[in-house]
Amino acid sequence: MRDLRKLSEWQALQSHYHEIESLQMRDMFAQDKNRFDTFSASACGILLDYSKNRITSETFDLLLALARKIDITKEAKRMFAGERINATEDRSVLHTALRMPDSKSLLVDGEDVVKQVHAVARHAAQFVDKVRDGVWTGYTGKRIESVVNIGIGGSDLGPLMVCEALKPWQHEDLEFHFVSNVDGSHISEALAKINAETTLFIVASKTFTTQETLANAQTARQWFLDSGADNSAIAKHFVAVSTNEKAVSEFGIDTDNMFRFWDWVGGRYSLWSSIGLSIRLCIGNDNFDAMLHGAHEMDEHFVQTEYQHNLPVVLALLGVWYGNFFNARSYVIAPYDQYLHRFPAYLQQLDMESNGKSVQMDGSAVDYKTGAVLWGEPGTNGQHAFFQLIHQGTDLIPADFITAAKSQNPVGAHHKMLLANCIAQTEALMKGKTLSEVQAELRAGGSTNEETDALAPHKVFSGNRPTNTLLCEEITPRVLGALIALYEHKVFVQGKIWGLNSYDQWGVELGKQLAATVLQELNSGAPGAHDSSTSNLMSYCIDRFSKAT
C-alpha cells in the first residue's frame, strides 16, 4: 500500500499550504506583471490560463515534484501500451488506441489493435456514408431522416454531448434523438416526433444487457412493427453497437448490422469507438476523423510534454491542490458556449465515475479525499443562478471556464458580450471587492454613512476564488477532440496520484442489480421483507397501480 500522505512531496505541499493559504491573488498579480506568462500553456489549439490560481512558483514546483514522484509519464505509457491497468476487471484501457492513425500499430496479446480499430472504423464509415447520402433507405425506399440513439451512461452521454457540441456540422437532412432514461416518457417523446419509414434506431450497449437500453429498444421495435412494418424490415431500421454479438443476435438485430468494439474500451471512454456511430452520422466521417486527430494530438502532448507545460497534468495537479489541501469538495465546469451545454454532464460521468472511489488499487482504504463533485451549466446562464454561491458562499469552488474567440453564429454583438462575461467573471472571482472599495463606491453613489455601514458587508466579495480559463480560437471537431482527451487524461493523472483504479465502476454495476427484486415484487403486487420505508413506498405504488386500472 502506498501511503500518499506520508510521501515527502505530499508533506511539503501540506506545509507550503499553511504558508500561502492567506496570500491574495490580486497581490500576486500586482507584484508580478509576468504572472500570465509564467502560468499559462498552450497545446493542440487550446490555451490554458491557470494564472488565476492560488499558487506561487514554489507551489507549482512542489506540485510538479509530486507528479514526478508518481511518475505520471511512466504510468501513462503503461496505459498506452495496453498493460492491464484496470486490474479489477483484468482489462487493458485503450481508448487512446481508438484515435491512433492507421500508420501505427500496437500489439496487445499478439493482436494489432490499431488494425482492428481501423477495420471496424471502415465498416462504420461505409454505413455512415450510405445513410448520409440517402443510399441506405428504409423498408419503403425512403431515405433516413431521423436517427434515434438508444443507450445510457457511456453509451449516451458522449455521443449526445458531441452531437450537440458540433451541431453546426450536423447533416442538414438528418435529425437526432437520444433516448436513455427507462422512464417511458423519454422514448414516447422521441417516437412521437419520428416516422417509422424514415428512422434508423441505433441500439448502443457495450454489454447489451443493460435493462434501460433493452427496454427502450424493445419498445422502439414494437412501435416500429405496430406502424405496419414486418420483421423483415427490422434490418433496415435497427443497428447495434456492442461487444456482445450473441445478445445482439438474440434481440433480433442482424449481426451484419452490428458495429463492434472491445472490452478494453470503457463505457465513458467509448465515444471514439463504434459507440460514436451517431456522431459519425451527425457530422460525417471526415469531421469524426478530425475529432480523433485532435484527441490523438492531445495523447501525444500528454506523453511527450514536460509536466510544467502539460495541460492534463497541470489541470490535474491544480485539482488535487484544491481538493486535498484547501478541502474544496466541488468543482465547476462553465462552458461559455451554448453548444457545449452537455459538456458538464459528460464530464460529470467521466470524472465522478472514474475517481469516485475510496480504495486504492490494492484494496486498502484511502485516508484522503478523492474525486470532487463536479457540476456546471453554460455561462452566461450560470451567472444568473448559482454563481452567487461561487462568489460569496462559504465554500471554495474552483472552476474551469471554457470558451472560444470565434462564434459559430456571429450575430450582432452577442459573442463579444459572451466573451466579456466569461473573462470578467474570472477577474471578479480573482480580485473580489474589499470593504473599503465597497464603502467608497456606496459613498460615491450618494449613500449616507449609516446606509453605507448597513449595506457594505453584503456587497463585499472576498475574491481569491480560483479559475482556469481554457480558450481556443474556435470549437471545431479537432479542438473538441483535444478538449475531451485533455479531461480524460486529467482524470487519469488524478487517479494515479490518489492510487485508484479509474477504469472500473462497481457502483454502476450495483445499480444494474438493485432494482431486480423490487421490480419483481412490484409486478407481483406483494412487497417482500424490507425495511418499513421500502415496503411502504412499494405499497403506495402498488395501491395506485390498482386504482389506475
* 415 in active site: no
Q: CA distances (Å), 194 to each of 23, 129, 191, 212, in order?
A: 58, 21, 5, 21
Binding span for ligand G6Q by CB under 6 A among 9-17, 207-215, 420-428, 454-462: 207-215
Q: Should residue 210 be labelled a site residue for ligand G6Q when binding is judged by CB under 6 A?
A: yes
Rounded to whole angstroms, how far apart are CA atoms 352 and 373? 7
Binding span for ligand G6Q by CB under 6 A among 228-236, 261-269, 355-363, 462-470: 261-269
Neighbour-count burial for 170-207, b at 16+ CB within 10 Å, e otherwise: bbeebbbbbbbebeeebbeebbeebebbbbbbbbbbbe
Report the nearest approach of ligand G6Q to the CB of residue 406 (Å). Answer: 33
* 19 in active site: no
Report the nearest approach of ligand G6Q to the CB of residue 266 (Å). Answer: 5
Q: Should residue 152 be labelled a site residue for ligand G6Q when binding is judged by CB under 6 A?
A: yes
Q: Should residue 505 be labelled a site residue for ligand G6Q when binding is judged by CB under 6 A?
A: yes
Q: Other C-beta atoms within 10 Å of 478: how many?
A: 22
Q: Other C-beta atoms within 10 Å of 169: how many?
A: 20
Among 45, 82, 138, 153, binds ligand G6Q (CB under 6 A): 153
Which cell numbers in the block locate residue 405?
Answer: 474567440
Kindly state the number of chain residues that form the binding site for ligand G6Q, as judged by CB under 6 A. Answer: 15
3 state DSSP class of 258: strand
* Three-class DSSP labels, 10-68: HHHHHHHHHHHCCCCHHHHHHHCCCHHHHCEEEECCEEEECCCCCCCHHHHHHHHHHHH
Backbone angles phi, psi at 496, to 5 degrees: -70, -40
* CA 146-202-296 angle, 5° bins: 105
Q: CA distances (Å), 195 to each of 129, 143, 249, in order?
A: 21, 11, 25
Amino acid sitting at position 165: A
Report the nearest approach of ligand G6Q to the CB of residue 512 (Å). Answer: 7
Q: Should residue 266 be labelled a site residue for ligand G6Q when binding is judged by CB under 6 A?
A: yes
Q: Residue 266 or 319: which CB sits closer to ligand G6Q? A: 266
Which among 171, 369, 433, 512 is annotated as catalytic?
512
Residue window 94-133: x/- pattern of binding to ligand G6Q, with contact defined by CB under 6 A: ----------------------------------------
Q: Should residue 496 be labelled a site residue for ligand G6Q when binding is judged by CB under 6 A?
A: no
Report the nearest approach of ligand G6Q to the CB of residue 250 (Å). Answer: 15
Among 45, 82, 154, 312, binds ligand G6Q (CB under 6 A): 154
Which residues contact residue 63 at a Cβ distance below 8 angstroms, ignoring those fewer than 6 apart? 13, 55, 317, 318, 320, 321
Report the nearest approach of ligand G6Q to the CB of residue 504 (Å). Answer: 9
* 297 in active site: no
Report the nearest approach of ligand G6Q to the CB of residue 270 (Å). Answer: 7
Q: Other C-beta atoms within 10 Å of 247: how many?
A: 16
Strands 258-260 and 111-112 turn out to be unpaired
The Cβ-side half-sphere exposure at 396, using a 13 Å CA radius, reads 19
Binding span for ligand G6Q by CB under 6 A among 262-270, 305-313, 383-391, 453-461: 262-270
Q: Should residue 207 be labelled a site residue for ligand G6Q when binding is judged by CB under 6 A?
A: yes
Amino acid sitting at position 97: A
Q: Should residue 508 be labelled a site residue for ligand G6Q when binding is judged by CB under 6 A?
A: yes
Binding span for ligand G6Q by CB under 6 A among 29-37, 132-140, 199-207, 384-392: 199-207
What beta strand segments (E) does 89-163 contain?
A: 107-108, 111-112, 146-150
Contact 173, 143 (CB under 8 A): yes
3 state DSSP class of 388: helix
* Total length of the chain: 549
Among 59, 86, 180, 205, binds ligand G6Q (CB under 6 A): 205
Rounded to whole angstroms, how far apart are CA atoms 423 and 41? 17
Rounded to whole angstroms, how far apart are CA atoms 203 and 239? 6
Of 228, 513, 475, 502, which is closest to residue 359 (Cα–Cα)?
502
Among 155, 403, 469, 501, binds ligand G6Q (CB under 6 A): 155
Q: Residue 508 or 541: which CB sits closer to ligand G6Q? A: 508
Which among 384, 450, 458, 547 is annotated as catalytic?
384
Report the nearest approach of ligand G6Q to the CB of residue 140 (Å). Answer: 31
Which cell numbers in the block locate residue 115?
Answer: 488494425
Among 82, 267, 319, 344, binds ligand G6Q (CB under 6 A): 267
Among 213, 407, 425, 467, binds ligand G6Q (CB under 6 A): 213
Q: Residue 150 or 317: which CB sits closer to ligand G6Q? A: 150
Binding span for ligand G6Q by CB under 6 A among 200-208, 245-253, 280-288, 339-347: 200-208
Among 118, 177, 268, 415, binds ligand G6Q (CB under 6 A): 268
Among 52, 206, 280, 489, binds ligand G6Q (CB under 6 A): 206
Q: Should residue 211 be labelled a site residue for ligand G6Q when binding is judged by CB under 6 A?
A: no
Q: State which of positions 319-358 bind ligand G6Q (CB under 6 A).
A: 353
Q: Residue 302 or 503: which CB sits closer to ligand G6Q? A: 503
Binding span for ligand G6Q by CB under 6 A among 65-73, 204-212, 329-337, 479-487: 204-212
Q: Which residues bind ligand G6Q (CB under 6 A)?
A: 152-155, 205-207, 210, 213, 266-268, 353, 505, 508
Q: Which residues are catalytic?
A: 353, 384, 512
